[in-house]
Amino acid sequence: MVVIAFFLVPIAIPGLLVFWSWAVVWLAAAFCALIAWPIFLRPEHGRKSA
């Protein structure tokens, strides 16, 4: 998922701009960030919260 948010979206930007506008580029980036969001919410194992 992180690969999608940090690697594929920057590669896809020129292609999206050819067919659509910057609004679509921002929406695609936001969508990929939402897909990757659960990865960042996972609790770390072996670490206690304060």
Matching residue, tokens 């770390």:
44
Q: Taking a C-beta distance cutoff of 8 angstroms, is the pair 17, 25 a contact?
A: yes
Specify the pLDDT at position 25: 86
pLDDT of residue 36: 75
Q: How far apart are CA 31 and CA 5, in angstroms?
A: 9
For 6-39, write each residue's pLDDT tens digit. Answer: 677 678 888 889 999 899 888 887 887 787 777 7
The answer to whether 40 touches 5, Cβ cutoff 8 Å, is no
Instruction: Tell me which of 34 and 45 has the higher pLDDT.
Output: 34
Q: Which residues contact 32 (CB under 8 A, 6 or more apart)?
A: 4, 5, 8, 9
Residue 49, pLDDT above cutoff 60: no
